[in-house]
Amino acid sequence: MDAPLSPAQAIEAAARAGFDINLIECNLALTPENRARQHDDALALAQGLRAAGERHYAQSASASAPSC
């Protein structure tokens, strides 16, 4: 079994694997309240985009439906 990595080695390995270390450090510098607020804002944006997409595709489907 491999020896555990030092913190510096773990960070280096994560960066090589494609993790955005700067983004992680910036988020960890925030207070828990600020991180929760960012999460809530991102969730509200995602829900708004989903609702807009559902409205758009519902209108497109009804506009292209054949009338009998």
- Is residue 68 in some structural domain? no
Give the structural domain span for 11: 7-54
Whether 2 maps to a domain, the answer reads no
Q: Please spell the DSSP secondary structure of the chain, one letter per residue.
A: -PPPPPHHHHHHHHHHTT--HHHHHHHHHS-HHHHHHHHHHHHHHHHHHHHHHHHHHHHHHHHHSPP-
For the chain, what is the domain count?
A: 1
pTM of the complete model: 0.63
pLDDT in tens, 3-56: 899 999 999 999 999 999 999 999 999 999 999 999 999 999 999 999 999 999
